C-alpha cells in the first residue's frame, strides 16, 4: 500500500514540474528582452550593445533604459543601423558598415518624430531649456571702425608763383590757424616783374589822358586792367594792389593767408626753401568734426538706415561712450570680404579724438518692436532650414522647424513655428551642428519611417564607400586615444580661456601664422592655435584652415573680423 502511494506521489511531482516548465518563458527570449544597449549622451546616434567610450567624443557610454524589461508583447517595427538612423530594414542582419542592426520597438518609436530621453542621459547632456517669450528687439549691428578727417573740411596750401619761402608764420605741425591768418611770405621775381608792369601801365595811361583819340585812351585802360588781373592771379590782394598804386613802392614778396580755420596736419616746407608754382606747402584740416568709417557685412545692410544713431567706445577712454549718426553708405561692396563701408559723423568739440583712432561701434538698426524670440543657442541651422528642439515634458523632445527673422543681443525673431511659452533646448552640448552629426541626430528624431527597405535588396558596398568607412574608422581610432599631453594642454586652455567672444579675429588666434587653427565642431567659437580639448564640452579640437574656420563661424551667426 505504501509503495502505491509513493509511486502516485512521484507521478504527481513529475506532472507538476512539466506544467511549470511549459508555463515558464524561454531563456533565450528573456535574454533578448533583457539585452542592454548603450548610447552617448553627446551623440545620440551612437548605439552599442557593449559598454565603452564614444568613438567621436570619447565620453563614456551610458545604458539605455527601456520601459519594459521583457520582450513579451513588444512589437518590433523595423531594424536600423546603429551608426545611421536613415538606414532601415524590415529584417535583422548587418548594416552597410558590417554592424549588427538594432531593433526599434513600437513603444520606442514615438509619434511624429518624438523621442524619449532617459533622465540619466539628459543629465549627462547637461540639457537646459528656455521658454519662448516676447521681447522688444532692434537689429543692432556691432562692428569696428577707424576715425578719419572730414574730407569736406580740409585743404592744401599752395602758390601760383615760383620763388623762395621768405618767412613762415606757421612753423610746426599741429599748429591751429584761423580764417585770414598769415601763413607765409614768398619772395618771387615773377611778382616783382608783374608789379613793375602795373606801375608802367598806370604811368602810360596817365600820359595819354589828354589825348583826343578815344582808341589811344582805351588802349591805356586795357593795359592797366590786364596788369591788375595779373597781380590778382599771382595772389596779391586788392588792398595790396591799391597800396602799390598809391605809394609806387614795389613789394618783393607775396603773402599767403588761411582760407579756413583748422589745424596744420602736414608741413612740407621750411624757411628759405625754393618752391615751384603748384607745389603743396601745407595741409590744413578742421578737426572739430571727424568721420568714423566702419565695415559691415553685406547681409547687415538691410538693418541700417541713414541717420541711424551709433554708440562709440574708444580704447583710450574706458567707460565713456560717444555718439554719432550714420551720414553715408558707400555705393560699392568690397569683393573679397563681402563687406560694405559706412560713414558716421562724430563731433570733436573738445579735441579729445584723433584721426586713426580705433573704435568699437554699435549701430542702432531697424526696430522690430515686441516680437516672439528664441535664444541664439537654441537654433539649429542646417543651411537649408532652421529648427529647434522642442521640449514636450516628461523626457520627450521633438524637432520643430521654424522661420527666423531679425537677430539682436543673442536672440532671433521667430516668424513662424513656435508659440509663446513653448520650451526649447538651449544647452550647447545638445546642439550637434556638424554636417554629418546634425543630419544623423535630426534623422533620429524624425524616425525616417518612410525609408524602410528590404534586407534582401541591400546594396553592396562600392570600393569608394569601403575606403570611406576605413578612413572614418581610422579617424575614430585616432580620436579615441587621448594622450597625457592632450590633458595637460586642455588644462592650460581652460586657464587662458579659448572661448572667443565678440568680433573674432582669426589672425590673432593663428599665432604661429601657419594659416590653420584648431576649432571645436560643436561650440564653434572655441578656437586655439594648439591642439587640445574644448573647455566647454571636452571634445577634441579639429585642425582646419583659417578660411574654413571663418566660414564655420559666419554660418553659425558669429562675427569675424
pLDDT in tens, 323-351: 999 999 999 999 999 999 999 999 998 88
Residue with cell 591788375: 228
Cα separation, 173 vs 263, in Å, equals: 8
Phi, psi angle pair for 314, to nearest 5°:
-115, 150
Q: Please state which architecture CATH assigns to domain 141-150+286-365.
A: Beta Barrel (2.40)
pLDDT in tens, 39-64: 776 666 677 778 888 887 777 787 77
Share of the chain above pLDDT 70, in %: 75
Name the band, by pLDDT with cuts 50, 70 and 90, for residue 33.
very low
| 47 backbone φψ class: left, alpha, beta (φ>0; ψ -120 to 50) | beta
pLDDT in tens, 147-174: 999 999 999 999 888 899 999 999 899 9
The least confident of 239-248, 356-365, 371-380, 411-420 is 239-248
Query: What residues contact residue 373 under an 8 Å CB cut-off, 6+ apart?
Result: 132, 133, 134, 135, 137, 411, 412, 413, 414
Predicted confidence (pLDDT) at residue 292 exceeds the cutoff of 90? yes
| Gyration radius (Cα) of the chain, Å | 42
Nearest of 524, 480, 514, 519 to residue 52 by alpha carbon = 480
Cα separation, 560 vs 144, in Å, equals: 11
Name the band, by pLDDT with cuts 50, 70 and 90, for residue 10.
low
Query: What residues contact residue 240 under an 8 Å CB cut-off, 6+ apart?
Result: 251, 255
pLDDT score, position 334: 92
Looking at every residue in the chain, the average pLDDT score rounds to 78
pLDDT score, position 471: 45
Q: Where are the domains of the chain?
A: 141-150+286-365, 151-285, 482-560
Residue of higher predicted confidence among 334 and 108: 334
Cα end-to-end span (Å), the chain: 105
Predicted confidence (pLDDT) at residue 309 exceeds the cutoff of 90? yes
CB 519 within 8 Å of CB 491: no
Please state the rounded mean pLDDT for residues 406-421: 88
pLDDT score, position 85: 64
User: 151-285 in CATH: which number?
Assistant: 2.40.50.100
Angle at 413 between CA 534 and CA 394, to 5 degrees: 65
Predicted confidence (pLDDT) at residue 484 exceeds the cutoff of 70? no
Nearest of 389, 373, 370 to residue 381 by alpha carbon = 389
Strands (E), 376-530: 380-381, 386-393, 396-408, 411-416, 423-425, 503-504, 516-519, 527-528
Cα separation, 329 vs 307, in Å, equals: 10
N residues, the chain: 561
Cα separation, 91 vs 79, in Å, equals: 6
pTM > 0.85: yes or no:
no
pLDDT score, position 363: 93
Cα separation, 329 vs 295, in Å, equals: 10
Nearest of 414, 262, 288, 277 to residue 352 by alpha carbon = 288
141-150+286-365 and 151-285 have identical folds: no
Cα separation, 192 vs 341, in Å, equals: 51
pLDDT in tens, 75-107: 777 777 776 666 778 788 888 777 788 787 665
pLDDT score, position 385: 83
Phi, psi angle pair for 211, to nearest 5°:
-75, 140
pLDDT score, position 436: 35
pLDDT score, position 237: 81
Please state the rounded mean pLDDT for residues 243-271: 89
The least confident of 23-27, 125-129, 140-144, 186-190 is 23-27
Query: What residues contact residue 60 under an 8 Å CB cut-off, 6+ apart?
Result: 51, 52, 53, 54
pLDDT score, position 273: 93
What count of other Cβ atoms lies within 10 Å of the Cβ of residue 50?
8
Cα separation, 561 vs 555, in Å, equals: 14
- The DSSP secondary structure of 443-474, one letter per residue, reads HHHH--GGG-B-GGGPPPPPHHHHHHHHHHHH
Amino acid at each position: 500500500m505504501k509503495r502505491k502511494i509513493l509511486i502516485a506521489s512521484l507521478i504527481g511531482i513529475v506532472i507538476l514540474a512539466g506544467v511549470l516548465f511549459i508555463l515558464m518563458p524561454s531563456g533565450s527570449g528573456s535574454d533578448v528582452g533583457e539585452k542592454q544597449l548603450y548610447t552617448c549622451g553627446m551623440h545620440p546616434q551612437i548605439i552599442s550593445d557593449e559598454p565603452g567610450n564614444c568613438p567621436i567624443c570619447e565620453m563614456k557610454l551610458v545604458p539605455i533604459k527601456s520601459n519594459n524589461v521583457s520582450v513579451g508583447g513588444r512589437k518590433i517595427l523595423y531594424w536600423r543601423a546603429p551608426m545611421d538612423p536613415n538606414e532601415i530594414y524590415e529584417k535583422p542582419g548587418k548594416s552597410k558598415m558590417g554592424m549588427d542592426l538594432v531593433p526599434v520597438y513600437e513603444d520606442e518609436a514615438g509619434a511624429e518624430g518624438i523621442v524619449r530621453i532617459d533622465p540619466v542621459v539628459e543629465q549627462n547632456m547637461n540639457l537646459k531649456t528656455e521658454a519662448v517669450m516676447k521681447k522688444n528687439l532692434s537689429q543692432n549691428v556691432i562692428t569696428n571702425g577707424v576715425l578719419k578727417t572730414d574730407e569736406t573740411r580740409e585743404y592744401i596750401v599752395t602758390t601760383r608763383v615760383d620763388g623762395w619761402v621768405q618767412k613762415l608764420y606757421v612753423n610746426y605741425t599741429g599748429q591751429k590757424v584761423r580764417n585770414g591768418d598769415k601763413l607765409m611770405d614768398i619772395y618771387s621775381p615773377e611778382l616783382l616783374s608783374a608789379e613793375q608792369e602795373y606801375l608802367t601801365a598806370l604811368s602810360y595811361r596817365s600820359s595819354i589822358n589828354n589825348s583826343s583819340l578815344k582808341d589811344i585812351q582805351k588802349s591805356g585802360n586795357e593795359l592797366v586792367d590786364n596788369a591788375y588781373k595779373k597781380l590778382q592771379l599771382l595772389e596779391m590782394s586788392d588792398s595790396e594792389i591799391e597800396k602799390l598804386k598809391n605809394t609806387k613802392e614795389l613789394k618783393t614778396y607775396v603773402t599767403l593767408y588761411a582760407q579756413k580755420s583748422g589745424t596744420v596736419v602736414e608741413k612740407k616746407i621750411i624757411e628759405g626753401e625754393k618752391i615751384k608754382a603748384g607745389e603743396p606747402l601745407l595741409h590744413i584740416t578742421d578737426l572739430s568734426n571727424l568721420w568714423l568709417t566702419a565695415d559691415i557685412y553685406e547681409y547687415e545692410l538691410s538693418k541700417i538706415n541713414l541717420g541711424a544713431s551709433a554708440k562709440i567706445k574708444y580704447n583710450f577712454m574706458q567707460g565713456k561712450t560717444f555718439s554719432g549718426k550714420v551720414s553715408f553708405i558707400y555705393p560699392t561692396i568690397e569683393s573679397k570680404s563681402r563687406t560694405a563701408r559706412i560713414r558716421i559723423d562724430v563731433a570733436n568739440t573738445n579735441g579729445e579724438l584723433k584721426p586713426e583712432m580705433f573704435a568699437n561701434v554699435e549701430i542702432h538698426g531697424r526696430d522690430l518692436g515686441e516680437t516672439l524670440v528664441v535664444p541664439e543657442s537654441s537654433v539649429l541651422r542646417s543651411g537649408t532650414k532652421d529648427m529647434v528642439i522642442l521640449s514636450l515634458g516628461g523626457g520627450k523632445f521633438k524637432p520643430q522647424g521654424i522661420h527666423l527673422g531679425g537677430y539682436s543681443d543673442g536672440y532671433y525673431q521667430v516668424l513662424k513655428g513656435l508659440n509663446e511659452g513653448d520650451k526649447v533646448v538651449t544647452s550647447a552640448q545638445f546642439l550637434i551642428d556638424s554636417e554629418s552629426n546634425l543630419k544623423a541626430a535630426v534623422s533620429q528624431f524624425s524616425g525616417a519611417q518612410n525609408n524602410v527597405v528590404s534586407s534582401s535588396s541591400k546594396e553592396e558596398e562600392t570600393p569608394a564607400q569601403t575606403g570611406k568607412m576605413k578612413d572614418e574608422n581610422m579617424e575614430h581610432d585616432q580620436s579615441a586615444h587621448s594622450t597625457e599631453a592632450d590633458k595637460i594642454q586642455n588644462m592650460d586652455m581652460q586657464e587662458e580661456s579659448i572661448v572667443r567672444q565678440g568680433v573674432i579675429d582669426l589672425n590673432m588666434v593663428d599665432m604661429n601664422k601657419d594659416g590653420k587653427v584648431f576649432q571645436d565642431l560643436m561650440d564653434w567659437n572655441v578656437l586655439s592655435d594648439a591642439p587640445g580639448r574644448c573647455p566647454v564640452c571636452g571634445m577634441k579640437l579639429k585642425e582646419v584652415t583659417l578660411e574654413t574656420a571663418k566660414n564655420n563661424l559666419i554660418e553659425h551667426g558669429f562675427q569675424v573680423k
